[in-house]
Amino acid sequence: MLIFACQKLFFVVSKRFNGFLRLLMFCLSATEGEACADGITVASGTSQSVNASELGDVSNTFLNVTNLDPATEGSYSVAM
């Protein structure tokens, strides 16, 4: 997903799957599909509003998402 001069983002992570907590990490990256090494972590069943600068270098053009438990599925939505 490309970021176009966006200052504020709102994340919603899906509900728990089979009662287990899921964590997704969101970050800005220069490379599409690169796993996040740092950024913000959002737990399942929650939402969070953040400034783009909290996700990393705002000159990076990609919003990447890493599932911190790749053995299970997670879903999310993002509003800018």
Q: Which tens digits make up the pLDDT trace of 2-14?
A: 444 556 677 677 6
* CA-wise closest residue to 45 among 65, 64, 66, 17: 17
Q: Which tens digits make up the pLDDT trace of 22-77?
A: 788 999 999 998 999 999 998 888 888 888 888 999 888 899 999 888 777 777 88
pTM over 0.85: no
* CA-wise closest residue to 19 among 40, 48, 38, 44: 44
